[in-house]
């Protein structure tokens, strides 16, 4: 005769406090996937959302949070690039002004030498 061994998980009902047990494999499956069982007095126990679904939801939320941060960074990058364009335009304008001032200064020196 072959003996079959089944691992049991001991549970205490959260409603009535009656201890009972169920096969560990069944308990872990219900916990992981979501589901319910009843205690000997008929109280429903278990998980509406299994740990797998909960982990998936947490990962999806984390993914969305990361995407939101990436979107924020893109907005900041666009602002910085826009500011850089304004800064570059200002630098070009200043260089042109300096050139004009140097030319005016040269003309003024030439005129002063001629007098």
Residue 97 lies in a domain: yes
Determine the pLDDT at residue 45.
93
Residue 57 lies in a domain: no
pLDDT in tens, 68-80: 998 998 888 888 8
Query: CA 47 to CA 37: how far, in whole Å?
Result: 9
Range of the domain at 18: 8-48
Phi, psi at 34, each rounded to 5°: 95, 145
Residue 1 lies in a domain: no
Are 70 and 102 part of one and the same domain?
Answer: yes
Mean of pLDDT over the chain: 89
Split into its structural domains, the chain has a count of 2
Are 66 and 114 part of one and the same domain?
Answer: yes
Residue 2 lies in a domain: no
Are 44 and 71 part of one and the same domain?
Answer: no
Q: Rounded to two decimals, what is the model's pTM?
A: 0.47
């Amino acid at each position: 005769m072959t003996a079959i061994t089944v691992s049991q998980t001991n549970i205490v009902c959260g409603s009535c406090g009656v201890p009972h047990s169920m096969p560990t494999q069944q308990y872990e499956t219900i916990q992981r996937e979501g589901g319910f069982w009843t205690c000997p007095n008929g109280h429903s126990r278990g998980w509406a959302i299994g740990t797998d679904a909960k982990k998936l939801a947490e990962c999806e939320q984390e993914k969305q949070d990361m995407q939101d941060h990436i979107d924020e960074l893109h907005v900041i990058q666009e602002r910085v690039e826009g500011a850089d364009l304004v800064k570059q335009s200002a630098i070009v304008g200043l260089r042109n002004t300096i050139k004009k001032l140097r030319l005016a200064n040269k003309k003024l020196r030439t005129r002063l030498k001629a007098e």
